[in-house]
Structure 1
């Protein structure tokens, strides 16, 4: 944590692997794994199999009883699926009308698989949802996603990557302030009209092809969003 705070491991960089860290600190790999779990739980790093451990923040996130998320990479977005529990509420195949097409940012008439879920913090005795999320997966992948979704814990983006054999190279994110709608108030255990954040994420392949969109509603008292901005190095003449 001190090395990260001092800038020796900048935000966005990858930490040395477990073998290197164990040798550096003269401890066992099990000790390193325990330390990584602590860093991950505090929001300082994100971890992904075969991708390494990425630095996401320079200090622990302070959460006011809700859930704090620090995002600086696609891997950090994917980490959300590991840190929370998904409780699927309904699944349906839909075709976008004009209104839904505007919400998703696509053309009318496109077919999607919509998976509606509540997200929970593991071990939360109150079982208060963090958010309601409607995930729209391109209809091309609908059959396989339906078959494999029950055993898939991560966000559905990683499942689409596995099925397609392709990687998402960009996530476009839009955040706006909204009120909790009447139909979501009960499942979210919130008052109708209560302050909330609406987050839309569009997942794109390298061909600029959008294969997934998520629309999430986060009650304001349960979620905070952290982003780190840095100045680009510009030569002054």
Structure 2
């Protein structure tokens, strides 16, 4: 028997294919769709999540749900994320499930210290997790190692197992320390041998390694995350717009400062 959200997802797909919601237009919001279809808002949200994972729609806070394609671009259990703001990153945490695999203290050697922009010998908390789609039968979306600065280690260790969102929002919610900026690097790699079994992937399969450094208002790094995404389960969308500037003038990025423990 099909679940209610799957029936709604199929109905919305039919509306997109039939042209009721053309590509490039914004669909009605969750509340309006729930009223139209006679279902709960949570059912609509789950159905829209399915369409987003298939690449048929994109969802952004304050911009609504935009139709991107009349056919699925990815298979079940994949994930598509449109990133433009810190809130978009947080939305990923709200729409996927974290399964903590290990929590440990890491003493930074020279290589890790370079990644964390800290002094060698500092003790950072590492939280290793699998992220998965709400679709129970789907393989994991990614493996993530999150490194947390010493001053927030205790609160994260205490609360992370029961907190549904990203660790950055956990720190903001319970320590009042918000993220001001995220520096992100995406690299093409092969799935590491140590993660093949956990990710249900083939050894050497293509993957995206995504490293994010979370900075506070004083440009201090307080979280670093490194995620391995099998390439067939995740993609990023971004829109680039021309910004007028004086000829020959380009913005310079400042080097993040260390966050004292």
Counterpart among 59, 80, 92 of residue 45 in structure 1: 59
Counterpart residue number, 2:92: 80
Give the counterpart of 2:82 among 70, 92, 98. Answer: 70
Match of 2:148 in 1: 137
- Report the TM-score, using the length of structure 2 for normalisation: 0.71
Where in structure 2 are the equivalents of 1:22-33 lying within 5 Å?
33=41
For the 8 Å contact 1:56–1:71, the answer to whether it is kept is no
Conserved? CA contact 1:92–1:114, under 8 Å? yes
1:120 aligns with 2:138: no
1:135-214 aligned within 5 A: 135-214=146-225
Kept in 2, the 8 Å contact 1:44–1:55? The answer is: no
Task: Sort the Cα spacing of 1:63 and 1:142 in 2 relative to 1 into closer, same or farther, 3 A.
Answer: farther
> What CA distance in whole angstroms lies between the structure 2 residues aligned with 1:39 and 1:64?
15
Give the whole-Å Cα distance in 2 for the aligned partners of 1:58 and 1:231: 22
Q: Distance in 2 between matches of 1:108 and 1:60?
A: 46
Q: Work out the CA distance in 1 between the residues paired with 2:229 and 2:204.
A: 12
Tell me how far apart the structure 2 counterparts of residues 130 and 227 of structure 1 sit (CA, whole Å): 20
Question: What is the deviation of 1:114?
Answer: 0.3
Runs of 4+ in 1 over 6 A off after TM superposition: 1-4
Distance 2:23 2:234 in 1: 25
Q: Is the 8 A contact 1:45 1:54 kept in 2?
A: no
Judge conservation of contact 2:168–2:178 (CA < 8 Å) in 1: no
Gaps of 5+ in 1: 8-14, 47-52
Q: CA RMSD in A?
A: 3.4
1:215 aligns with 2:226: yes
Q: Are the structure 2 counterparts of residues 56 and 63 from structure 1 closer, same or farther at C-alpha, using a change threshold of 3 Å?
A: farther
- C-alpha offsets along residues 179-210 of structure 1, whole Å, 9 cap, x if unaligned? 11111111111122211100000111110011
CA distance in 1, matches of 2:143, 2:126: 13
SS at match of 2:67: coil
TM-score, structure 1 normalization = 0.77
Count of aligned positions: 216
Secondary structure, aligned partner of 1:54: coil
Consecutive unaligned residues of structure 2, counting only runs of 5 or more, are 1-19, 248-261
Within the candidate set 55, 59, 78, 2:63 is matched to: 55
Cα separation, 1, equivalents of 2:163 and 2:185: 26
CA distance in structure 2 between the partners assigned to 1:60 and 1:110 by the alignment: 46
CA distance in structure 2 between the aligned counterparts of 1:87 and 1:40, rounded to whole angstroms: 19
